[in-house]
Structure 1
Amino acid sequence: MSGFDYIIIGSGTAGSTLAARLSEEDAARILVLEGGGADRGFWLKLPVGYYKSIYDNRVSHLYKGDPDPGIADRQMDCPRGRVVGGSSSINGLIYIRGQHADFDDWAALGARGWSFNEVLPHFRAFETYAGPPSQYRGAHGPLQVSDLRNSNPACNEWLQAARAHGLPQNDDFNGESAYGVGGYQLTLRGRWRDSAATAFLHPALKRPNLTLETGARVTEIVFDGPRATGVRYVQNGTTHEVHADCEVILCGGSVQTPQLLQLSGIGPKELLREHDIPVRIDAPEVGENLQDHLQMRTIVELDERGASLNDHMRNPISLAKMGLEWLLGSRGPLTVGAGQVGGAACTKHAENGRPDLQLFVMPLSVDKPGKPLHRYSGFTTSFWQCHPESRGSIHIASTDPFADPRIRTNYLSAEKDQKVIVEGARMVRELYSRPEFRHRWRREVIPGAEHQSDAEVLTAVRQMAGTVYHLVGTCRMGSDAGAVVDPELRVNGVEGLRVVDASVMPKITSANTNAPTFMIAEKAAAMIRTDASGTSEDTAYAH
């Protein structure tokens, strides 16, 4: 196989978006290599199907973290999409950019050109928002974004309690501010999920200059002197080598991108020498700076049967009604994602009035996706710290490219993270206990009323909290010598190699990370097209 300008490794959120945008230039020849298979199947398309897909090893790589003392020596699940569309094909569909200041933080940390005002045009360029027009929202992009299409009485009363607590109503978390409470927006196209594959890659594959290879596991980046010139990959048991005339672009995500860089000799020299890998670039931060949101689920048992989806899912009549709502009106519980309502709040530890707690509410309860709903009438409020200070790492465990790397999550290793998450548990209990909601429930199931002191609540969090699947940051972007990539996402120390995925985030955004990953790819496409054509970036993203 030959004759490509760009080789894109990975067809996830970033890879699919980038491939589609680059292929808009007729002269550009693009190859996308995806280790997983096609994004076919009903559960990949049905919005609520994330519940079945995220732990399905046919479409998800089920990584596990090392035993972590911060979470009672448990090993955290770290599933990542292994299918066309990547994690955007299996995630909970929540579309939220994060706080404006998240991106200003990036710029302050050396990511020049990535402040909120500078990235807003790229956010607007790729979305079509179904809600009211706004200077903050896009109306002509490939990705379809919809307001919540389901109403639940218990969720509505939870919102009443939150507003009575002092949190303002917010009808658009992606508008002027992320602060306050309301319904979450989702990536929906009609009644179906809209992933990076359905919005970007599949339409673009009609162009003759774009090629997709599935079941293609990249094992190594190929170099000619200081320049990345191609990759080796295995497909159906056969090793192939393919070359790029312009650039090799890593879109493997926060786990596989640093793993492949390390296997190719770009990483901490001590780690590479430990595995007898020749050191091409001593890059100590490749695989460092790992960040994630640690989510604590709280569950109460409702008094009245029928307000919880736990009840409806066991009632054939209710199931039939849900199916009709979805089929005929593209509405109802089958159109929801990983959260129906919620929002951003400030604990007493918040700085400068900036929310430090994100809340997600679902009228159901379960141990984790893929497991049966509880037999009682459960109701869940999950929360996480928006700006965790704890940092982990991802390091290769061997030279086998098919072996999982070591993922050290290091949750709650920063004292502030402990304080904020304990305060978050107290705030959620206050919301449950407000008169607007208190009549709804009979007992607290998780963490349980026996956990009252700060120490007891923190112990419960360590034993019960889980990931929100937001691993980012392992190939940090910046302007300093230690950064893995520069603000144009070029890997420092080599030529012809970029990273375009969530691993480049210097700091995790405050909420779900899928929308910012779309933006990273949209902006990267503009920069790459600028480099190729000599035009300004403004011209490059005016698709």
Structure 2
Amino acid sequence: MNAFDYIIVGAGSAGCVIAARLSEDPTQQVLLLEAGPPADNFWINTPGGVAKLFEDKRFNWGFKTESVESLGGRTVNWPRGKALGGSSAINGMVYMRGHPADFDHWTNLGNEGWGWSDVLPYFKKSERNVRGGDDYFGGDGELSVTDPVQRHPTTDDFLQSVKAVGIPEIRSLNAPPFEGVSYQQFTIRGGRRETSYTAFIKPILGRKNLTVRTGVHVLRVIVEGGEATGVEILDRGETQIVKAAREVVVSAGALSSPQILMLSGIGARDHLQGFDIPVIVDLPGVGENLQDHWAAPFVARVGARDSYNSNLQGLRKYVEGARYLFNRRGFLALGSSAVSAYVKTSPDQLQPDLQLAIRPVSAVFRPDGSVVIDPKPGIGGAVVLVGPKSTGRMELKSPDPLKAPAFHPNYLSDPSDMARTLYGMRLLRRVLAAEPLARRIAAEVAPGPAVESDQDLSNFIRQSGNTAWHQTGTCKMGCDEMAVVDARLRVHQIKRLRVADASIMPRITSGNTNAPSIMIGEKAADMIIADRSPPRVVTT
């Protein structure tokens, strides 16, 4: 069948939710398209297998930025999920919604219906929190949200040392007061990774009105007479047209959704004409407003019992693997960065703009993007600038849909971003020097004690920092001349076409972006159903 009511492009964090909700109506035929393969893989299912996925091109697009001038000409590896579940199949599984002020700011920019009180019900709708439902948490949704299966003594000490420098402990980073230190929660179910696919699509694969196709690359959205009528796809070497009677929803993520729009003739006129792409709508904001969180790393040398590096090497890694296989517990059942502190860099900040994160393991990031466990006992973590002001852009490098676009993130180009990251590095050093964590620290490895001046620390942050893998904003929601979609996620000047994923964020949220992307999927589905237009007459 090559005609459906709805076509959803991308089976990622938002796309899976949309397909699940729209297919609840048995009269509607729903097609969910994914360029990658199924994701039933041991290292995907195993929470501790994240590092194994950074360079696995089966499940990872393996994008790279262009040379970043503000980082001294570095390129940065950008892993992005290419599988059922999208990036939720390869991420660190942290469940972090962001700060209420993030969403109120979206509303203040002219996006009615996206304030905190508007989006909280959608967060709760998806969530099956191990702590149960209340005013802030959902207890009976599809997405499993759990606490770490075990707490390492080093992370307990980190939490206590954060408190010792004056940062309060709070019960959850996703509930008031939203500022302080706490153990994080994760999208993990029964010791296995919970993706948007396993939560929302896998349980309903028996629905006769839901079709899921993998290994299908969407070449463009077909627009006729000012409305989306379907998509052109490449499926196992064969080009096909699939038609949509009601809507096409692009949910391919912040790095691919704008590319699909551009290839469809929707974007900046001059840019598209440079590739001989016929311009359907001149929308200069497509690909602009690219935002990401920049992470400045730290590593400290500790005693063997203060880290689980040794448990993941040599013969011990087999013992750890057996422990996981038998009872789904142990270090392989944990997500990344067990404890985080969210803090303000100054009292003038309306909300926390820094995250201090720690994990009782240290790793080496190789230039090729691969990650290996540090052979010596260590702990690692990062200062993450969750309130960046720097923005970048993406653009086409080729009219070939199978060629990756060019990404220009402009990290740290706004002077305040570096200043606030420096504040965070010095604050983190105060935490490392505070008891009880200080007694575990044998030496600071990175940045290292010799890196002390602002200039030296700035150089370290540029040279050794990394993406937090939270790219957003490239099809931003709004009503200004650079907006791509309106507050109901409809692409400006095109009927029956929406974008629904992290690309629509006008400003990046203050934390990990998987949970907000799922929320966007929930809210998008409700709007699509509420706005349901009469079907077009489709002939095949």
Whether TM-score is above 0.5 comes out as yes
Match of 1:537 in 2: none
Matched, 1:384 2:381: no
Q: 1:361-403: per-residue Cα shift (whole Å, max 9, x none)?
A: 1111112374221111111131111210000101011110001
What displacement does 1:175 show? 1.7
Q: Which amino acid aligns with 2:25?
A: E
Q: Name the amino acid aligned to 2:53.
A: S
Identity across the alignment (%) = 39
**1:306 alignment counterpart:** 305
2:148 equivalent in structure 1: 148
Task: For residues 119-151 of structure 1, give each alpha carbon's deviation from its aligned partner in whole angstroms, at most 9, with x where no partner exists.
Answer: 011011011000154210101100000012221
Equivalent in the alignment of 2:237? 237
Secondary structure (helix, strand or coil) at the match of 1:526 reads: helix
Encode CA deviations 1:32-63: one digit per residue, 9 max, x unaligned: 11111111211111111222123211100011
1:27 aligned onto 2:27: yes
Which residue in 1 is equivalent to 2:537?
none
Does the 8 Å contact 1:291/1:392 carry over to 2? yes
Aligned-partner Cα distance in 2 for 1:277–1:255:
19
Contact map agreement 1:134 1:175 (CA 8 A) in 2: no
Which residue is equivalent to 2:338?
A: 340
Tell me the SS of whatever aligns to 1:255: coil
Task: Describe the superposition over 1:46-97 as per-residue Cα deviations: whole angstroms up to 9, x where unpaired.
Answer: 1112221232111000110011022221111111111111101111100010
Cα distance per residue 1:240-270 (max 9 Å; x no partner): 0010000011001011110011111110111
How much does 1:454 deviate? 1.1
What does 1:209-248 align with in structure 2 at a 5 Å threshold? 209-248=209-248
1:356 match: 353
1:407-486 matches, cutoff 5 A: 407-486=407-486
Deviates more, 1:364-373 or 1:469-478: 364-373
Give 1:107 deviation, angstroms: 0.8
Query: What is the match of residue 16 of structure 1?
Result: 16
Opposite residue 316 of structure 1, the aligned amino acid is L
The structure 1 segments of at least 4 consecutive aligned residues displaced by more than 6 Å after TM superposition are: none
1:178 Cα offset (Å): 2.3
Query: Could you list the per-position Cα deviations for residues 92-123 of structure 1 after superposition, in whole angstroms to 9, with x for gaps in the alignment?
Result: 10001011111111111122100000001101
Deviates more, 1:148-157 or 1:115-124: 148-157
User: 1:327 Cα deviation (Å)?
Assistant: 4.5
Which residue of structure 2 lines up, in the alignment, with residue 191 of structure 1? 191
Tell me the distance in 2 between the aligned counterparts of 1:204 and 1:226. 34
Matching of residues 55-94 of structure 1 within 5 Å: 55-94=55-94
Query: How many angstroms apart in 1 are the aligned matches of 2:402 and 2:267?
Result: 18
SS in 1 for 2:219: strand
The alpha-carbon deviation at position 481 of structure 1 amounts to: 4.0
Q: Distance in 2 between matches of 1:321 and 1:218?
A: 41
Aligned length: 531
Aligned 1:35-184 pairs, distance under 5 A: 35-184=35-184
Counterpart CA distance in 2 for 1:521 and 1:403 is: 27
Question: How many Å apart are 1:164 and its aligned residue?
Answer: 0.9
Show structure 1 runs of 5+ residues with no match.
535-543
Alignment partners' CA distance in 1, 2:316 and 2:487? 55
Partner of 1:539: none
Matched position secondary structure for 2:364: coil
Task: Tell whether the 8 Å contact from 1:54 to 1:91 is kept in structure 2 after alignment.
Answer: no
1:28 is matched by which residue type in structure 2? Q
RMSD between aligned residues: 1.5
Q: Is the 8 A contact 2:94 2:336 kept in 1?
A: yes
- In structure 2, the gaps of 5 or more residues are 535-540
Stretch moving more, 369-378 or 81-90? 369-378
Shift of residue 320, structure 1, vs aligned partner: 2.0
Contact 1:323 1:334 in 2 (8 A): no
How has the CA–CA distance of structure 1 residues 181 and 281 changed in structure 2, closer, same or farther, with 3 Å as cutoff? Answer: same
Corresponding residue for residue 523 of structure 1: 523
| Structure 1 CA distance for aligned equivalents of residues 131 and 54 of structure 2 | 28
TM-score, with structure 2 as normaliser: 0.96
